[in-house]
Amino acid sequence: GENVEQHPSTLSVQEGDSAVIKCTYSDSASNYFPWYKQELGKRPQLIIDIRSNVGEKKDQRIAVTLNKTAKHFSLHITETQPEDSAVYFCAASTGVWDSNYQLIWGAGTKLIIKP
């Protein structure tokens, strides 16, 4: 079945610098890759997603890149701010039929923005 690995587990960056989180997946049929941000005590919130027919997507300071050949995708956050501090989860879709379609999640990255 699908397996998603996420690195690093903890990332500490200076405010204003960029942060990059990487995920690899095993199922070549995966076609949807969301990123969720979860602040302490709160719900996971979708921050950006990418589908397999595009290689890159950007939304203001956040971008995601996808390399289907290598089976990896990355989250890029530029000009980091204190409010970016949170746990970030990547996920990849799996399932041949709609009835067994689900997300497989990475282990998470704790992002710390140092003032």
Partner 1 sequence: DTEVTQTPKHLVMGMTNKKSLKCEQHMGHRAMYWYKQKAKKPPELMFVYSYEKLSINESVPSRFSPECPNSSLLNLHLHALQPEDSALYLCASSPRQGLQETQYFGPGTRLLVL
How many residues does the structure list for the chain?
115
Query: What value does the CA radius of gyration of the chain take, rounded to a whole number of Å?
Result: 14
Nearer to partner 1, 46 or 56 (CB): 46
Residue 113 is a binding residue for partner 1 (CB under 8 A): no
* Window contacting partner 1 (CB under 8 A); options: 15-23, 29-37, 62-70, 77-85: 29-37
CA 50 to CA 87: how far, in whole Å?
A: 19
Q: Are 92 and 31 in contact (CB under 8 A)?
A: no
Contact region with partner 1 (CB under 8 A), list: 11-19, 39-47, 60-68, 70-78: 39-47
Asked if 97 interacts with partner 1 (CB under 8 A), we say yes
Residue number with CB closer to partner 1 (83 or 98):
98
- Closest alpha carbon to 20 in 36, 3, 8: 8
- Residue from the set 1, 43, 70, 115 that interacts with partner 1 by CB under 8 A: 43
Q: How many of the chain's residues bind partner 1 (CB under 8 A)?
A: 27
Give Cα separations from 32 to 9, 55, 103, 111 (angstroms).
Answer: 22, 12, 9, 23
What DSSP character marks residue 96?
S
Contact between 99 and partner 1 (CB under 8 A)? yes
**Nearer CB in complex with partner 1: 31/78:** 31
